[in-house]
Amino acid sequence: MKRGRIGGVVNTQAAGVRPPSRIDIQRNDLFTPEDTFELFQCKDISYLPAMMETPKAQLLNDSDSYGIFPESADSSNIQSEYEVADPYTLAPNTQEAQGVYVGVIRASTNSSIPPIRTQVYKRRWYILLVYSIMAGCQGCAWNTWGPIAASSEEAFGWDDADIALLSNWGPISYLASSAIFAWIIDVKGLRTAMVITGFLITAGTGIRCITSEPPYVKWTVNIGQCLNGLAGPVAMGLPPVLSSTWFPTHERTTSTAITLIFNYGLLAVSFLIGPYLVSDKPPTNSTENNAGFSDFLGSNHTVVVDRIDKERKEIMFLLYVEFGFVAFVYLLVLLYFPAKPKIPPSTTASIARMKFKTGFIKLLKNSKFWIICLTYGLSLGIFSAWQSVLDVNLKPHGISENEAGWIGFYSTVSAAGACLFVGRFADVYTKHMRLFLLVLYTGASLAMAWFILLINGYIPESKVSLYVSVILSTVLITSTPALYYEMTCEITYPVAEGITNLWLTTINNLGGLLFLFVQMIPNIGTVWENWCVIGAMVACIPVLCTFKERYNRLEVDEEGENQT
């Protein structure tokens, strides 16, 4: 008796199996790609993703309701019978029966199911562009305050804890909305998720523009950061869903990398546009040296007040610019952003995923997923949080806001280019993602060690060395998300990509949140931050060395392509 994987593509043309085969489905059974079932005879290829939708027994010829076959396949020649041990009728939307369902599946030996029809649309690049810019706007709005921390503190009477809280709203709000958006993405589709996300980002950036007067500005800015953070799950977790929905197999990692490029690009802009539009606070020692002469003339207070008033106006202009750009991009989303193409781009794009609840439970039991989730979440979450407060970290070493902004800009621009290279490389040389991750993590750990030696005075410090060490560590570690996203989708398939990656990025935000909460402890300093970052990186290396990667989704697509 021929046996095969559930949810996969099975070629039984030469199997010579005897119909009928029997499938015993017990209530509350959950099937995974490792489970096997007895096949029925068929001339060509067959898809049985509905067997993953247990415990409800389903009519196998109801392809529209249950996704037994892709829309492009003809399932009219498939027959099915059910023998039920209770009086309930096995029809859609009826109450589930208790006990065991015994299904007998038969197919004619001369039946022919045509290969799946796939098509790639040019508009996929426009869809990718609009999403990428919107996601980048979310990251840019989140990073508004770090690059202008000193000026904001003087203008509004804030301190480092206030700046850290503004950054904290990103992961806090993310944790609050991730489960809801996971359901929206998988059940309602990409368009609904993007419309809601765009509204949250637009509302968040708009509320920040209401006032610049303390103490009200603290409320409006925090509310705005909170709303913007609620949009984080779609901004961070949607790329793999978008790539699997619109892009063919050999472009998936590349398209995911492109979304990250725009995210990094607009993040880089935030490091520049803030210090460019907002004047840097004068050095403390300069103010002190001139204090006596200014007080003698009675003008020191006036100068400070004028400077604060100027800083507030410049900060508000920055907020207006960000709001205007976000509103324009949101208009593009409202005008045209379809949920999916009419014809799928790949075999797996046409196959139904597990239902939300079933997939969620299965994901929690997947040990391989949790290994990748913790590796990615803690290392990237901590590093992203560290990068968002880079100005605070470098301030004790004489690095101004403007210089810290340029370091952040060069880092993220370089990371964007490296991310595209790594993504394209992974698409060309498939099934080697773990090796690529090991190389990147090793290099990032060495670069971060160099930075720590410089910042702590173990080796001679120079601005050039600081620039290079930060840029190098950023480029290497931030080239990994596209690999993580796609590798996680591979090992968890057929769980829906939306659930998988929102869990992945939730752990990422949790790691960043813990980092920023520790930073809010009074007088804790900044020395611990660098050691925390390198510790998270180094801890991932032995885990990746022992991890056994799998490519469930890719194997299904490759088998499907071989049939066409």
CA distance 343 to 127: 15
CA distance 98 to 522: 59
Compute CA 429 distance to the chain's CA centroid, rounded to the nearest angstrom. 23
CA distance 549 to 547: 6
Locate the domains of the chain by residue range: 3-107, 124-389+396-516+524-563
Q: Could you write out the DSSP letters of every residue in 148-205? A: THHHHHHHHT--HHHHHHHHHHHHHHHHHHHHHHHHIIIII-HHHHHHHHHHHHHHHH
CA distance 10 to 282: 69
Give pLDDT, residue 330. Answer: 96
Q: Based on the number of CB atoms within 10 Å of its own CB, is 171 exposed (0-12), middle (13-18) or buried (19 or more)?
A: buried
AA letter at 159? D
Ramachandran category for residue 398: left, alpha or beta (phi over 0 → left; psi -120 to 50 → alpha): left
Q: Based on the number of CB atoms within 10 Å of its own CB, is 330 exposed (0-12), middle (13-18) or buried (19 or more)?
A: buried
Contacts of 176 (CB under 8 A, 6+ apart): 230
Query: And the tokens for 476?
Result: 């290497």
Cα torsion at 31, 37, 41, 43 (round to 10°)? 50
Bridge partners, residue 104, by sequence? 22, 81
Give pLDDT, residue 452. Answer: 87
Query: And the tokens for 276?
Result: 């460019």
User: Please, what is the Cα angle at 544 between 543 and 549, to 5 degrees?
Assistant: 120
Give pLDDT, residue 104. Answer: 32
CA distance 57 to 13: 27
- The per-residue pLDDT string of the chain (564 residues; one tens digit each, 9 = 90 and over) reads 233 333 333 333 333 333 333 333 333 333 333 333 333 323 233 333 333 333 333 333 333 322 333 333 333 333 333 333 333 333 333 233 333 333 333 333 333 344 567 788 899 999 999 999 999 999 899 989 888 888 888 888 888 788 878 888 888 888 888 888 888 988 888 999 999 999 999 999 999 999 888 889 999 999 999 999 999 889 888 888 888 888 887 788 888 888 888 887 887 788 788 888 887 766 655 444 444 444 544 556 676 777 888 888 999 999 999 999 999 999 999 999 998 888 887 766 666 666 777 777 887 888 888 888 888 888 888 888 787 677 777 777 777 767 777 787 788 778 878 887 887 777 777 777 888 899 999 999 999 999 888 887 788 877 788 888 888 988 888 888 888 888 887 888 777 777 777 788 788 878 877 887 787 777 776 678 888 889 989 999 998 888 887 776 776 666 655 555
Q: How many residues does the chain have?
A: 564
- Cα dihedral across residues 552, 555, 557, 559: positive or negative: negative
CA distance 24 to 306: 79
CA distance 329 to 261: 17
The overall longest dimension of the chain from CA atoms, in Å, is 103
3-state class of 539 per DSSP? Answer: helix
AA letter at 416? A
Specify the residue for token string 């706007």.
137
Residue spans of alpha helices (H) in 282-400: 284-297, 300-335, 356-364, 367-388, 390-394
Give pLDDT, residue 7. Answer: 34
Helix (H) or strand (E) holding 532: helix 527-546
Give pLDDT, residue 92. Answer: 32
3-state class of 114 per DSSP? Answer: coil
CA distance 320 to 265: 20
231 close to 200: Cβ distance less than 8 angstroms = yes
CA distance 4 to 554: 16
Q: Give the burial string for 187-221 (b: 16+ CB within 10 Å, else e).
A: eebbeebbebbbbbbbbbbbbbbbebeeeebeebb
544 close to 484: Cβ distance less than 8 angstroms = no
Give pLDDT, residue 227. Answer: 95
CA distance 448 to 450: 5
Give pLDDT, residue 255. Answer: 85
Cα torsion at 517, 518, 524, 528 (round to 10°)? -130
Determine the straight-line distance between the first and last CA of the chain, rounded to whole angstroms. 26
Q: What is the CATH number of domain 124-389+396-516+524-563?
A: 1.20.1250.20
Give pLDDT, residue 331. Answer: 97
Give pLDDT, residue 443. Answer: 93
Q: Based on the number of CB atoms within 10 Å of its own CB, is 417 exposed (0-12), middle (13-18) or buried (19 or more)?
A: middle
Distances (CA, A) of 498 to 137, 237, 278, 502, 505: 21, 7, 38, 6, 11
CA distance 26 to 5: 18
pTM for this model (two decimals):
0.66
Q: Give the burial string for 362-391 (b: 16+ CB within 10 Å, else e).
A: bbeebebbebbbbbbbbbbbbbbbbbbbbb
Contacts of 446 (CB under 8 A, 6+ apart): none
AA letter at 434? R
